[in-house]
Amino acid sequence: MTDNFDYDLLVIGSGPGGYVAAIRAAQLGLKTACVESRETLGGTCLNVGCIPSKAMLHASEIYHEAHSGALEKFGIKLTGTKLDLKQMHAEKSKAVEELTGGIAFLFKKNKVDWIKGHAAFESANSVKVGKKTVTAKNIMIATGSSVTPLPGVDIDNSKHVIVDSTGALDLPKVPGHMVVIGGGVIGLELGSVWLRLGAKVTVVEYLDKILPGMDGDIRKDAARIFKKQGFDIKTSTKVTGASVKGKKATLTIEPAKGGDAETLEADVVLVAIGRKPNTEGLALDKAGLSTNDRGQIEVGHDFQTSVPGVYAIGDVTPGPMLAHKAEDEGIAAAEFVAGQQGIVNHDLIPGVVYTHPEIASIGKTEEEVKEAGIKYKVGKFPFMGNSRAKTNRDTDGYVKVIADAESDRVLGAHIISSLAGTLIAQVTQAMEFGTTSEDIAYTCHAHPTHSEAVKEAAMAVQGKPIHI
């Protein structure tokens, strides 16, 4: 298909959106290249996002279990447990290296050319990378996102005092007091890491509840569980400024709706108020493109922008900033480029918070269903009634299923549980096939598993759970 171009498809950015799109396009016979400005492939997700954060969450959870005496009730007595933070970071880096190296291998295997450098458009069919011009019949923008700065709070990861998520993944020592600005997913995950390793952690959130966008019950109950773990959570509070003296920061905070200001001292401040699409330095105008008022690149159902042959996927486009959303869009967009039909159901993108317990969500929240004027029923089942959770002495949380009162079709499910991220997959798949709560209730679930709580929550929609 190349005609007079260097490539059929040139992908800009090798995050989970871009690298997956490039591999799928190559599998479909397109001559494909991927430009990446970072030293390694894998984007935010593999280098400074999903993977290193999960490595630190896993390691810190094991440490906390071993160190806090939580294992003694199982007859496991440990003495002299010590934290070797350097080794913890080294193991995280090893996981990142293996996974980013894995993509380089997959590129070779699928004959995707990896072009190193920063790409900027010269026209809708060409980009400049360093001194070289690369032309392509189709170009896909998968440049992802980066941290949203907070005016008055200057991030400098090298000083380890006011940091963003990348800095918080690499702190050389456990802070005495960490203040997390933003009670969203990233703030709570990284706050959990350092809380487990021994820091006092204060979360400052502008809204009246943490975890914006999630189901109201879940937001309330998650806050209760996190407070029990030792998090200090200050909601309806805004940060208005920060100063750094030596190794300490002083933050000025005040009630979100106005009132007296106070100060908070911290050893480390993590700014985690959100992420913004990466379009700076892309010279979008040279391709005839512009962004919307949120800085995102708008696309049609086929991921094509307003300029034919230029596609965009992942965090740089509207929708949740999640790796699996970017990946699925990458596959679908590559299929469209190859003349096939790609499919992504944007109504069913699961969201998971990898704290302990995990929090997972699919479909509509109760607030969204109410606002849409839909008559609905709710079934809830607590893990206190689940035999496996009880056996594991791990009963925090519940499953909440929301179903249409007339058709019984499942509209949403929200789970707090140590295995929530895994459990949400079965409801997502069932919803993809248009499931009713009765379908889930009459599906045989293995015993004893946490998944039985999903079945019981579905039974609770009809008011008939067994174990509660």
Ligand X SMILES: Cc1cc2nc3c(=O)[nH]c(=O)nc-3n(C[C@H](O)[C@H](O)[C@H](O)COP(=O)(O)OP(=O)(O)OC[C@H]3O[C@@H](n4cnc5c(N)ncnc54)[C@H](O)[C@@H]3O)c2cc1C
Q: Smaller CB distance to ligand X: residue 21 or 459?
A: 21
CB contact at 8 A, 391 and 381: no
Q: Which residues of 161-190 are buried (b: 16+ CB within 10 A; e: fewer)?
A: bbbbbbbbbebeebbebbbbbbbbbbbbbb
3-class DSSP assignment, residue 202: strand
Sign of the Cα torsion 180, 225, 56, 419 reads negative
Q: Which of 118, 447, 450, 467 is catalytic?
A: 447
CB contact at 8 A, 389 and 398: no
Q: Smaller CB distance to ligand X: residue 361 or 386?
A: 361
Residue 447 is among the residues annotated as catalytic for this protein: yes
Give the strand pairing for 262-266 and 32-36.
unpaired
Ligand-binding site membership of 184 (annotated) = yes
CA 302 to CA 383: how far, in whole Å? 41
3-class DSSP assignment, residue 113: strand
Q: How far is the CB of 287 from ligand X (least distance, A)?
A: 12
Ligand-binding site membership of 274 (annotated) = yes
Phi, psi (rounded to 5 degrees) for 454: -70, -45
Ligand-binding site membership of 323 (annotated) = yes
Ligand-binding site membership of 145 (annotated) = yes
CB nearest ligand X: which residue? 144
Q: Smaller CB distance to ligand X: residue 8 or 189?
A: 189
Q: Smaller CB distance to ligand X: residue 40 or 436?
A: 40
Q: How far is the CB of 163 from ligand X (least distance, A)?
A: 11
Q: Residue 439 corresponds to which amino acid?
A: D
Q: For the chain, what percentages of helix, strand and coil (3-state, to nearest 5) are there?
A: 35, 25, 40
Ligand-binding site membership of 319 (annotated) = no
Q: How far is the CB of 445 from ligand X (least distance, A)?
A: 26
Q: How far is the CB of 30 from ligand X (least distance, A)?
A: 18
Q: What is the dihedral of CA 21, 26, 29, 31, to 10 degrees?
A: 100
Q: Residue 109 corresponds to which amino acid?
A: K
DSSP secondary structure code for residue 292 in this structure? -
Ligand-binding site membership of 188 (annotated) = yes
- Smallest CA-to-CA distance from 281 within 450, 114, 143, 414 is with 143
Ligand-binding site membership of 315 (annotated) = yes
Give the neighbor-by-neighbor strand order of the sheet with 351-353: 351-353, 358-363, 410-417, 398-404, 376-382
Nearest-5° angle of CA 376, CA 379, CA 382?
150
Q: How far is the CB of 369 from ligand X (least distance, A)?
A: 24
Q: Smaller CB distance to ligand X: residue 37 or 443?
A: 37
Ligand-binding site membership of 324 (annotated) = yes
User: Interface residues with ligand X (CB under 6 A)?
Assistant: 12-18, 35-38, 43-45, 49-50, 53, 118-119, 142-145, 165, 186, 278, 281-282, 314-315, 321-324, 326, 354
Ligand-binding site membership of 143 (annotated) = yes
DSSP secondary structure code for residue 172 in this structure? S
Q: Smaller CB distance to ligand X: residue 36 or 215?
A: 36
CA 5 to CA 361: how far, in whole Å? 44
Q: How far is the CB of 393 from ligand X (least distance, A)?
A: 26
Q: Smaller CB distance to ligand X: residue 20 or 460?
A: 20
C-alpha 183, offset from chain centre: 14
Q: How far is the CB of 39 from ligand X (least distance, A)?
A: 9
**Annotation: binding site for NAD(+):** 182-189, 205, 274
Enzyme catalytic residues: 447
**Annotation: binding site:** 54, 143-145, 182-189, 205, 274, 315, 321-324
